[in-house]
Amino acid sequence: MDKTLRVVNTLKKGKLIEDYAIAGGIAAMFYIEPILTYDLDIFVILPREMKTNQLIDLTPVYDHLKKRKYKWKGEHIIIEGVPVQFIPVDELEEGAVRNAKMITLKGVRTRIITPEYLVAILLRTGRKKDIVKVEKLLTQAKVKTAVVKKIVRAHGLQNRLATVIKGMHE
């Protein structure tokens, strides 16, 4: 995966994206026990010029990757053997990217969403598998409760968090 991240870093260096962070199952797995997932989700903040008239255009990113001979498989682009999905951020996710944690994987510097933002994002998505991840994060990771509460309050997710916590104690 380090090779994949090296390629993703070239997108930022080439100013095709403003910033990015690892999200989804892989981000969760950074903090919790290994879980089965099939792709690498990358949240991307696009440069202002790529967000015209409220339209989000990932074409420059895909063109760059196509030039490097990376191929599509369904909704993923396979970069150095890993199916990657680039996800342009919304407001909550932008906060997650801007506050992401810097890590190093086999010498490659990258950024990964904090467990506090992951909890909020997973609560919002709210599928059964997301709630399982929230429970794992709350029991296996060092999650700053005050920070989670602040994020979920800002995005109206307090009730969802309360329901999950209640369910964990039943």
Partner 1 sequence: MNKRSSVSQRGKTSTVRKTIFRQKKEFHQMQARLSFAEKIRILVELQKIARNIKKKDIFVWQI
Question: What residue ranges bind partner 1 (CB under 8 A)?
Answer: 1, 3-4, 29-38, 73, 76, 78, 80-83, 103, 105-106, 136, 139-141
Shortest Å distance, C-beta 136 to partner 1 = 8
**DSSP state for residue 129 in the 8-state scheme:** H
Residue type at 96 in one-letter notation = A
Shortest Å distance, C-beta 165 to partner 1 = 17
Q: Which residue's CB is nearer to partner 1, number 30 or number 62?
A: 30
Q: Which residue's CB is nearer to partner 1, number 24 or number 50?
A: 24
Helices (H), the chain: 2-13, 24-31, 59-67, 91-98, 115-125, 128-140, 145-154, 158-168
Contact by Cβ (8 Å): 34, 107:
no
Shortest Å distance, C-beta 102 to partner 1 = 13
Report the alpha-carbon distance of residue 85 to residue 73 in Å, rounded: 10
Report the alpha-carbon distance of residue 110 to residue 5 in Å, rounded: 7
Q: Which residue's CB is nearer to partner 1, number 130 or number 157?
A: 130
Shortest Å distance, C-beta 1 to partner 1 = 5
φ/ψ of residue 164, rounded to 5: -65, -45
Report the alpha-carbon distance of residue 106 to residue 109 in Å, rounded: 8
Shortest Å distance, C-beta 42 to partner 1 = 15
Q: Which residue's CB is nearer to partner 1, number 92 or number 141?
A: 141
Three-state secondary structure call for residue 55? strand
Q: Which residue's CB is nearer to partner 1, number 59 or number 104?
A: 104
